[in-house]
Structure 1
């Protein structure tokens, strides 16, 4: 996650933004941006997506950055947001990665189970008997 955030910080500085002006642009506090890019706190997925939309020109680069971030998310809320994002964007392999990585987390079991069923449906697979 720190590598991702370092590249984001370089892009922010490369475009001539200060952290304060950049934070104001997205309606978050300067501390949120500072702690996020320093790796002290995980940025919210929706804020990260807005940042990526602003910093990266190419759709391919945007997608790569978002995919890297989603693979590294650890907070329950970001995991749920990531699953919803993957479902909506048709990123079924990424959704499966998240489900397998976080399966067994007590607070997320019902969400992971529901998205696993959706994943089976979207891929046209049969449901496992032991599920």
Structure 2
């Protein structure tokens, strides 16, 4: 089997999480500058087998698309063009940032560490991936 790679897309930073090859465990991989995202993904899939990109789908409480959806749709268009062999699915990402922050508190991270937005993005991507895996 190959990995599933989850993407918590952001205007400035993007959190990335991956599964193991058996697709049992979701782990945070990294956070990259969004400007560098496509080259990062190209390099990653050249080294690792990836069978699916899972991109977070931000929705408002009434299930309508959030403002950032326009940016994500454009990213998906670019990703499909850059890496056409790997399919893309979407996963609801409502509350992932809040859940990521709570995870940081629960794990005992100090206040200064909890202010690390890159870590929040990475944990959010992991939560998106876990949500998909455990449906």
Give the TM-score band, short-chain normalised: under 0.3
- Greater Rg by CA: 1
- Give the structure-2-normalised TM-score: 0.27
Of Structure 1 and Structure 2, the greater strand share is in: 2
